[in-house]
Amino acid sequence: QVQLVESGGGLVKPGGSLRLSCAASGFTFSDYYMSWIRQAPGKGLEWVSYISSSGSTIYYADSVKGRFTISRDNAKNSLYLQMNSLRAEDTAVYYCAREGSSGWYPLPYWGQGTLVTVSS
Amino acid sequence: AIRMTQSPSSLSASTGDRVTITCRASQGISSYLAWYQQKPGKAPKLLIYAASTLQSGVPSRFSGSGSGTDFTLTISCLQSEDFATYYCQQYYSYPSFGPGTKVDIK
């Protein structure tokens, strides 16, 4: 079955960096677009970034553009989110989710999430 | 960016009640609308996509309707396991979510 497992979250100081990973299994990873979505404590869901199956198309939410970088390694069935210049408002649970094979899709598969806390 | 709004932001209901949640998009999104259920500490679960198509394994008491800018999620007969927060999401363009509707026990 489809499984997505995030890792890499933790406590980081403002201005610091963190790299999140998402290990995928149970499907042909290289066929699917992937997204990162986050949820601040007690708040709603916010889409963060999206990458096409080949990695050639990438989008970011305005709130993270220029600070976050999404990437993937299809040989390792892994998705990444490099987060730089972190701010307190980036504190959230970060989920990876599987998109469709092209374009925008609803999200039937999510990981369990990894918590990122930005605090001094 | 397409903004999504939901109403109400919260509601109290009893088991067996019929519950309706409304979602509105700031511009037309055709039927590119999904509904999710989220319980505390868990990832969201897809309930409905394409505005009215039930995701596999989701009970038939959940239904969705609408197109363009106005959508509804209906739970026909609320069960104890349905107390949760519900989000709508448009995937017509860069995805965006509604702020959520918390359904709790009256």
| pLDDT (tens digit per residue) in B10-60 | 999 999 999 999 999 999 999 999 999 999 999 999 999 999 999 999 999
Contact list, B98 vs chain A (CB under 8 Å): 44
pLDDT digits (tens, 9 = 90+) for B94-104: 999 999 999 99
Residue-level pLDDT at B3: 97
Residue A63 exposed, middle or buried by CB count within 10 Å (0-12, 13-18, 19+): middle
Of the pLDDT bands very low, low, confident and very high (cuts 50, 70, 90), residue A10 is very high
Cβ count near B24 (within 10 Å)? 16
* Backbone dihedral angles phi then psi of residue A66, each to the nearest 5 degrees: 90, -10
CB burial of A5-30 (b: ≥16 within 10 Å; e: otherwise) equals ebebbeebeeeeebebbbbbeeeebe
Q: Which residue has the higher pLDDT, A100 or A91?
A: A91
Q: What is the pLDDT of residue B74?
A: 98
Backbone phi and psi for residue A101, each to the nearest 5 degrees, phi listed first: -90, -5
Asked if A47's CB is within 8 angstroms of B96's CB, the reply is yes
| DSSP SS3 for B39 | coil
Q: Alpha carbon of B69 to those of A1, A67, B26, B94: distances in Å?
A: 35, 33, 7, 16
A46 touches chain B (CB under 8 A): yes
Chain A within 8 Å of B87 (Cβ-Cβ)? yes
* Average pLDDT value over all residues in chain A: 96
